[in-house]
Structure 1
Amino acid sequence: MTDIFLSSDEDTGDTTTIQEPRLWRDALWTARVIKNEEDDGWAVSMTRQGEAEAALVGPWTMGRDKKNPKPLDAPAFHTLVKTASEVLRRHEQQLHAQLNKHVSVGVGSERIRVALQIVPDEDNPHAVLTAQDESGAQLGEARVAPGFKLTMASAQAWIEGGYAARVR
Protein backbone atom coordinates (compact mmCIF):
# COMPACT_ATOMS: atom_id res chain seq x y z
CA MET A 1 0.00 0.00 0.00
CA THR A 2 1.27 3.46 -0.86
CA ASP A 3 1.40 6.14 1.80
CA ILE A 4 -0.80 9.10 0.91
CA PHE A 5 0.00 12.62 1.98
CA LEU A 6 -2.37 15.46 1.18
CA SER A 7 -0.94 18.70 2.44
CA SER A 8 -2.92 21.67 3.61
CA ASP A 9 -2.38 24.90 5.45
CA GLU A 10 -2.21 24.07 9.17
CA ASP A 11 -2.78 27.75 10.09
CA THR A 12 -6.28 27.71 8.58
CA GLY A 13 -7.36 24.81 10.79
CA ASP A 14 -7.36 22.32 7.92
CA THR A 15 -5.88 18.94 8.73
CA THR A 16 -3.48 16.86 6.72
CA THR A 17 -4.66 13.44 5.63
CA ILE A 18 -1.96 10.93 6.54
CA GLN A 19 -1.96 7.20 5.92
CA GLU A 20 1.15 5.60 7.38
CA PRO A 21 1.63 2.18 9.01
CA ARG A 22 1.52 3.70 12.53
CA LEU A 23 -0.35 6.98 11.95
CA TRP A 24 -3.63 7.62 10.15
CA ARG A 25 -5.36 11.00 10.13
CA ASP A 26 -8.44 12.34 8.40
CA ALA A 27 -10.39 15.57 8.91
CA LEU A 28 -11.88 14.35 12.22
CA TRP A 29 -9.71 11.63 13.77
CA THR A 30 -6.10 10.58 14.34
CA ALA A 31 -5.16 6.95 14.98
CA ARG A 32 -1.68 6.43 16.39
CA VAL A 33 -0.07 3.06 17.13
CA ILE A 34 2.07 3.43 20.25
CA LYS A 35 4.26 1.22 22.39
CA ASN A 36 2.29 -0.17 25.31
CA GLU A 37 4.33 0.92 28.34
CA GLU A 38 2.79 -1.76 30.57
CA ASP A 39 3.94 -4.76 28.52
CA ASP A 40 5.81 -5.73 25.38
CA GLY A 41 2.82 -5.14 23.13
CA TRP A 42 1.36 -2.23 21.22
CA ALA A 43 -1.67 0.00 21.67
CA VAL A 44 -3.66 2.30 19.42
CA SER A 45 -5.02 5.69 20.47
CA MET A 46 -7.87 7.51 18.76
CA THR A 47 -8.01 11.27 19.20
CA ARG A 48 -10.63 13.60 17.74
CA GLN A 49 -9.12 16.66 16.06
CA GLY A 50 -8.91 19.60 18.46
CA GLU A 51 -9.06 17.40 21.58
CA ALA A 52 -6.13 17.07 23.98
CA GLU A 53 -7.06 13.62 25.29
CA ALA A 54 -7.57 10.41 23.37
CA ALA A 55 -11.18 9.23 23.18
CA LEU A 56 -10.08 5.61 22.98
CA VAL A 57 -6.91 3.69 23.80
CA GLY A 58 -6.82 -0.05 23.32
CA PRO A 59 -4.53 -2.96 22.55
CA TRP A 60 -3.19 -3.30 19.02
CA THR A 61 -2.34 -6.47 17.14
CA MET A 62 1.25 -7.61 16.77
CA GLY A 63 2.62 -8.11 13.27
CA ARG A 64 3.80 -11.41 11.89
CA ASP A 65 7.30 -10.92 13.28
CA LYS A 66 5.81 -10.76 16.83
CA LYS A 67 7.91 -7.64 17.54
CA ASN A 68 6.37 -4.82 15.54
CA PRO A 69 2.73 -3.74 15.35
CA LYS A 70 0.44 -4.67 12.51
CA PRO A 71 0.20 -1.65 10.16
CA LEU A 72 -2.95 0.46 10.20
CA ASP A 73 -5.16 0.13 7.16
CA ALA A 74 -8.45 1.59 5.92
CA PRO A 75 -10.79 -1.08 7.41
CA ALA A 76 -9.04 -0.93 10.79
CA PHE A 77 -9.12 2.88 10.80
CA HIS A 78 -12.84 2.96 9.98
CA THR A 79 -13.57 0.42 12.73
CA LEU A 80 -11.55 2.49 15.22
CA VAL A 81 -13.39 5.67 14.19
CA LYS A 82 -16.75 3.96 14.74
CA THR A 83 -15.69 2.59 18.13
CA ALA A 84 -14.22 5.90 19.33
CA SER A 85 -17.36 7.76 18.16
CA GLU A 86 -19.54 5.34 20.15
CA VAL A 87 -17.39 5.86 23.25
CA LEU A 88 -17.81 9.64 22.96
CA ARG A 89 -21.55 9.28 22.39
CA ARG A 90 -21.90 7.14 25.54
CA HIS A 91 -19.93 9.74 27.53
CA GLU A 92 -22.21 12.51 26.23
CA GLN A 93 -25.31 10.48 27.11
CA GLN A 94 -23.97 9.83 30.62
CA LEU A 95 -23.19 13.52 31.14
CA HIS A 96 -26.65 14.48 29.88
CA ALA A 97 -28.23 12.02 32.31
CA GLN A 98 -26.21 13.47 35.20
CA LEU A 99 -27.21 17.04 34.34
CA ASN A 100 -30.88 16.44 33.48
CA LYS A 101 -33.42 14.68 35.67
CA HIS A 102 -37.20 14.64 35.77
CA VAL A 103 -40.13 13.16 37.68
CA SER A 104 -43.85 13.06 36.98
CA VAL A 105 -46.19 14.00 39.81
CA GLY A 106 -49.91 13.34 39.88
CA VAL A 107 -51.96 16.39 40.83
CA GLY A 108 -55.64 15.49 40.83
CA SER A 109 -56.31 13.81 37.49
CA GLU A 110 -53.37 15.54 35.79
CA ARG A 111 -49.67 14.63 35.62
CA ILE A 112 -47.10 17.36 35.96
CA ARG A 113 -43.58 16.81 34.69
CA VAL A 114 -40.95 18.47 36.87
CA ALA A 115 -37.48 18.68 35.33
CA LEU A 116 -34.15 19.70 36.78
CA GLN A 117 -31.39 20.92 34.48
CA ILE A 118 -28.00 21.49 36.08
CA VAL A 119 -25.90 24.26 34.51
CA PRO A 120 -22.23 23.46 35.30
CA ASP A 121 -20.98 27.03 34.85
CA GLU A 122 -17.50 27.52 36.36
CA ASP A 123 -18.33 30.98 37.73
CA ASN A 124 -21.98 30.55 38.63
CA PRO A 125 -23.13 26.92 38.79
CA HIS A 126 -26.86 26.53 39.27
CA ALA A 127 -29.84 24.47 38.22
CA VAL A 128 -33.22 25.31 36.71
CA LEU A 129 -36.36 23.60 37.89
CA THR A 130 -39.32 23.62 35.49
CA ALA A 131 -42.84 22.25 35.57
CA GLN A 132 -44.97 21.38 32.55
CA ASP A 133 -48.45 20.04 32.20
CA GLU A 134 -49.31 17.08 29.97
CA SER A 135 -49.64 19.31 26.89
CA GLY A 136 -46.15 20.75 27.45
CA ALA A 137 -47.28 24.16 28.68
CA GLN A 138 -44.89 25.57 31.26
CA LEU A 139 -46.45 26.00 34.69
CA GLY A 140 -43.47 27.25 36.64
CA GLU A 141 -39.73 27.81 36.67
CA ALA A 142 -37.25 28.42 39.47
CA ARG A 143 -33.50 28.74 39.78
CA VAL A 144 -32.11 26.38 42.42
CA ALA A 145 -28.74 25.29 43.80
CA PRO A 146 -26.85 22.82 41.58
CA GLY A 147 -26.99 20.30 44.43
CA PHE A 148 -30.80 20.40 44.60
CA LYS A 149 -32.20 16.86 44.96
CA LEU A 150 -35.17 16.30 42.69
CA THR A 151 -37.45 13.70 44.22
CA MET A 152 -41.18 13.06 44.06
CA ALA A 153 -41.50 14.74 47.46
CA SER A 154 -39.47 17.84 46.55
CA ALA A 155 -41.38 18.20 43.26
CA GLN A 156 -44.72 17.83 45.07
CA ALA A 157 -43.71 20.44 47.66
CA TRP A 158 -42.67 22.88 44.92
CA ILE A 159 -45.98 22.39 43.09
CA GLU A 160 -47.98 22.80 46.32
CA GLY A 161 -45.99 25.96 47.09
CA GLY A 162 -47.26 27.52 43.87
CA TYR A 163 -43.98 27.08 41.98
CA ALA A 164 -42.27 29.54 44.30
CA ALA A 165 -38.98 30.92 43.04
CA ARG A 166 -37.22 29.97 46.28
CA VAL A 167 -37.00 26.21 46.56
CA ARG A 168 -35.15 24.21 49.19
Structure 2
Amino acid sequence: MTANDSNEESEAELPTAVNEPRLWINNGWTARVIKNEDGEGWAVEMIKEGEAEPALVGPWTMGRDKKNPKPLDVSAFNTLVKTASEVLRRHEQQLYAQYHKSITIDAPSGRIKVTLDIVPDEYDPHALLGACDDFGEQMAQVRVSPGFKLTMSSASAWIDNDFRRPGA
Protein backbone atom coordinates (compact mmCIF):
# COMPACT_ATOMS: atom_id res chain seq x y z
CA MET A 1 0.00 0.00 0.00
CA THR A 2 1.37 3.42 -0.92
CA ALA A 3 0.95 6.69 0.92
CA ASN A 4 -1.65 7.71 -1.67
CA ASP A 5 -3.68 4.54 -1.00
CA SER A 6 -3.74 5.37 2.73
CA ASN A 7 -4.89 8.95 2.07
CA GLU A 8 -7.62 7.78 -0.29
CA GLU A 9 -8.92 5.32 2.33
CA SER A 10 -9.01 7.91 5.11
CA GLU A 11 -10.77 10.41 2.81
CA ALA A 12 -13.31 7.73 1.87
CA GLU A 13 -14.08 7.14 5.58
CA LEU A 14 -14.87 10.82 6.19
CA PRO A 15 -18.55 11.64 5.81
CA THR A 16 -19.24 13.73 2.76
CA ALA A 17 -20.60 17.18 3.38
CA VAL A 18 -24.11 17.70 2.03
CA ASN A 19 -25.25 21.22 1.15
CA GLU A 20 -28.82 21.04 -0.11
CA PRO A 21 -31.56 23.66 0.35
CA ARG A 22 -33.28 21.61 3.10
CA LEU A 23 -30.42 19.38 4.30
CA TRP A 24 -26.91 20.26 5.42
CA ILE A 25 -24.49 17.73 6.88
CA ASN A 26 -21.09 18.89 8.03
CA ASN A 27 -18.71 18.78 11.01
CA GLY A 28 -20.72 16.08 12.80
CA TRP A 29 -24.04 17.92 12.54
CA THR A 30 -27.14 17.53 10.38
CA ALA A 31 -29.53 20.42 9.79
CA ARG A 32 -32.84 19.39 8.26
CA VAL A 33 -35.70 21.72 7.35
CA ILE A 34 -38.99 19.96 8.11
CA LYS A 35 -42.69 20.76 7.95
CA ASN A 36 -44.09 21.91 11.31
CA GLU A 37 -46.14 19.27 13.12
CA ASP A 38 -49.25 21.45 12.89
CA GLY A 39 -48.78 21.71 9.12
CA GLU A 40 -48.26 25.47 9.35
CA GLY A 41 -44.85 26.70 8.29
CA TRP A 42 -41.42 25.14 8.66
CA ALA A 43 -38.96 24.13 11.35
CA VAL A 44 -35.29 23.18 11.37
CA GLU A 45 -33.88 20.34 13.45
CA MET A 46 -30.25 19.96 14.43
CA ILE A 47 -28.99 16.45 15.09
CA LYS A 48 -25.51 15.70 16.37
CA GLU A 49 -23.84 12.75 14.69
CA GLY A 50 -24.51 9.53 16.61
CA GLU A 51 -27.54 10.90 18.46
CA ALA A 52 -31.08 9.64 17.86
CA GLU A 53 -32.90 12.79 18.97
CA PRO A 54 -32.41 16.36 17.76
CA ALA A 55 -30.47 18.68 20.05
CA LEU A 56 -32.50 21.60 18.77
CA VAL A 57 -35.76 22.14 16.89
CA GLY A 58 -36.79 25.66 16.06
CA PRO A 59 -38.91 27.69 13.66
CA TRP A 60 -37.60 28.21 10.15
CA THR A 61 -38.24 31.18 7.90
CA MET A 62 -40.49 31.01 4.86
CA GLY A 63 -38.99 31.71 1.49
CA ARG A 64 -39.94 34.58 -0.77
CA ASP A 65 -42.82 32.61 -2.31
CA LYS A 66 -44.42 32.32 1.19
CA LYS A 67 -44.99 28.57 0.57
CA ASN A 68 -41.59 26.91 0.68
CA PRO A 69 -38.88 27.28 3.33
CA LYS A 70 -35.92 29.55 2.92
CA PRO A 71 -32.93 27.41 1.81
CA LEU A 72 -30.19 26.66 4.32
CA ASP A 73 -26.89 28.46 3.79
CA VAL A 74 -23.45 28.39 5.40
CA SER A 75 -24.17 31.30 7.74
CA ALA A 76 -27.45 29.83 8.98
CA PHE A 77 -25.87 26.39 9.36
CA ASN A 78 -22.97 27.76 11.42
CA THR A 79 -25.39 29.70 13.65
CA LEU A 80 -27.52 26.59 14.13
CA VAL A 81 -24.46 24.49 15.03
CA LYS A 82 -23.40 27.10 17.59
CA THR A 83 -26.89 27.28 19.10
CA ALA A 84 -27.37 23.49 19.21
CA SER A 85 -23.91 23.04 20.77
CA GLU A 86 -24.82 25.56 23.47
CA VAL A 87 -28.09 23.73 24.17
CA LEU A 88 -26.17 20.46 24.63
CA ARG A 89 -23.56 22.17 26.83
CA ARG A 90 -26.27 23.64 29.09
CA HIS A 91 -27.99 20.26 29.29
CA GLU A 92 -24.70 18.62 30.34
CA GLN A 93 -24.14 21.34 32.95
CA GLN A 94 -27.65 20.81 34.31
CA LEU A 95 -27.11 17.05 34.56
CA TYR A 96 -23.76 17.57 36.26
CA ALA A 97 -25.31 19.98 38.76
CA GLN A 98 -28.12 17.50 39.40
CA TYR A 99 -25.71 14.64 40.18
CA HIS A 100 -22.83 16.52 41.87
CA LYS A 101 -23.33 18.76 44.86
CA SER A 102 -20.90 20.27 47.36
CA ILE A 103 -20.98 22.28 50.57
CA THR A 104 -18.12 23.79 52.55
CA ILE A 105 -18.31 23.51 56.35
CA ASP A 106 -16.22 25.42 58.87
CA ALA A 107 -15.33 22.64 61.33
CA PRO A 108 -13.08 22.83 64.41
CA SER A 109 -10.36 21.09 62.36
CA GLY A 110 -10.67 23.63 59.52
CA ARG A 111 -12.71 24.05 56.36
CA ILE A 112 -14.10 20.79 54.97
CA LYS A 113 -15.62 20.43 51.53
CA VAL A 114 -18.39 17.81 51.58
CA THR A 115 -19.43 16.40 48.23
CA LEU A 116 -22.28 14.20 47.08
CA ASP A 117 -21.83 12.43 43.75
CA ILE A 118 -24.89 10.51 42.57
CA VAL A 119 -24.24 7.47 40.37
CA PRO A 120 -27.48 6.94 38.39
CA ASP A 121 -26.69 3.30 37.55
CA GLU A 122 -29.69 1.40 36.15
CA TYR A 123 -29.05 -1.66 38.32
CA ASP A 124 -27.23 -0.21 41.32
CA PRO A 125 -28.03 3.48 41.83
CA HIS A 126 -26.10 4.99 44.73
CA ALA A 127 -24.23 8.08 45.81
CA LEU A 128 -20.80 8.76 47.25
CA LEU A 129 -20.55 11.17 50.15
CA GLY A 130 -17.03 12.53 50.45
CA ALA A 131 -15.02 14.98 52.49
CA CYS A 132 -11.82 16.83 51.58
CA ASP A 133 -9.72 19.23 53.62
CA ASP A 134 -8.60 22.68 52.48
CA PHE A 135 -5.70 21.13 50.54
CA GLY A 136 -7.98 18.78 48.56
CA GLU A 137 -6.88 15.69 50.51
CA GLN A 138 -9.67 13.17 50.89
CA MET A 139 -10.64 12.69 54.53
CA ALA A 140 -13.50 10.24 54.08
CA GLN A 141 -15.85 8.68 51.56
CA VAL A 142 -18.92 6.53 52.17
CA ARG A 143 -21.61 5.06 49.99
CA VAL A 144 -25.12 6.41 50.63
CA SER A 145 -28.56 6.22 49.08
CA PRO A 146 -28.97 8.22 45.85
CA GLY A 147 -31.81 10.00 47.67
CA PHE A 148 -29.48 11.35 50.37
CA LYS A 149 -30.02 15.10 50.82
CA LEU A 150 -26.82 17.10 51.22
CA THR A 151 -27.52 20.11 53.41
CA MET A 152 -25.43 22.13 55.86
CA SER A 153 -27.14 20.21 58.63
CA SER A 154 -26.58 16.72 57.16
CA ALA A 155 -22.95 17.54 56.29
CA SER A 156 -22.24 18.87 59.79
CA ALA A 157 -23.90 15.85 61.39
CA TRP A 158 -21.76 13.50 59.24
CA ILE A 159 -18.56 15.32 60.23
CA ASP A 160 -19.61 15.36 63.90
CA ASN A 161 -20.25 11.60 63.69
CA ASP A 162 -16.62 11.01 62.61
CA PHE A 163 -17.66 10.43 58.99
CA ARG A 164 -19.64 7.26 59.78
CA ARG A 165 -22.14 6.30 57.11
CA PRO A 166 -25.38 8.20 57.77
CA GLY A 167 -28.18 5.95 58.89
CA ALA A 168 -25.80 3.12 59.85
Please, what TM-score do these two structures have when normalized by structure 1? 0.89
Aligned pairs (5 A) from 1:29-108: 29-108=29-108
Match of 1:111 in 2: 111
65-74 or 37-46, which moves further after superposition?
37-46
Is 1:167 aligned to residue 160 of structure 2? Answer: no
Deviation at 1:139, TM superposition (A): 0.8
Secondary structure of the equivalent of 1:136? Answer: coil
Deviation at 1:108, TM superposition (A): 2.0
Aligned mates of 1:101, 1:146 — CA distance in 2: 12
CA contact (8 A) 1:125 1:146 kept: yes
Percent of aligned pairs with the same amino acid: 62
Deviation at 1:100, TM superposition (A): 0.5
Match of 1:148 in 2: 148
How well do the aligned residues superpose, as a CA RMSD in angstroms? 1.3
Q: Which is helix-richer, 1 or 2?
A: 2
Gaps of 5+ in 1: 1-7
Deviation at 1:39, TM superposition (A): 4.2
Match of 1:21 in 2: 21
Is 1:125 aligned to residue 122 of structure 2? Answer: no
Deviation at 1:106, TM superposition (A): 1.1
Aligned mates of 2:130, 2:107 — CA distance in 1: 16
CA deviations over 1:39-61 (Å, ceiling 9, x no partner): 42000000000100000000000
Deviation at 1:161, TM superposition (A): 1.2
Gaps of 5+ in 2: 1-10
Secondary structure of the equivalent of 2:72? Answer: coil
Secondary structure of the equivalent of 1:123? Answer: coil
Aligned mates of 1:163, 1:51 — CA distance in 2: 42
CA deviations over 1:120-159 (Å, ceiling 9, x no partner): 1111111001101111111110011100000111111111
Aligned mates of 2:59, 2:39 — CA distance in 1: 11
Segments of 4+ moved more than 6 angstroms:
none
138-147 or 106-115, which moves further after superposition?
106-115
Aligned mates of 2:162, 2:140 — CA distance in 1: 8
CA contact (8 A) 1:16 1:27 kept: no
What is the one-letter code of the residue matched to 1:105? I
Secondary structure of the equivalent of 2:157? Answer: helix
Aligned mates of 1:58, 1:50 — CA distance in 2: 20
